[in-house]
Amino acid sequence: MFLYCLESGPGGPLKIGVTTINAESRVYSLQTGNPEELRVVAQRPGKPMEEAALHRRFADLRIRGEWFQRDPSILAEFGL
């Protein structure tokens, strides 16, 4: 399993998710529902409970669902 961070357009919002496939394959399935180009910012091994913990941690930045306002603290979580 992989924990990943995607961006929607350059400098756009970030999606924190988890997948059993690689993040690039996940982008392919998500791209059809998003008018902005999606790009993998980072991925690392991770589990759904880690994803849920990050969603709670960054709840104040949540836009909707798994999408969050771009913030240095989210990027730092992924070593960026």
Structural domain boundaries, residue 54: 2-77
Length of the chain: 80
pTM across the whole model = 0.91
Cα distances (angstroms) measured from residue 50 to each of 6, 12, 17, 25: 16, 23, 10, 20
| Number of domains present in the structure of the chain | 1
Give pLDDT, residue 56. Answer: 98
Helices and strands in the chain, H and E counts: 3, 5
pLDDT value of residue 22? 84
Per-10-residue mean pLDDT of the chain, 80 residues long, equals 95 95 86 90 96 98 97 94
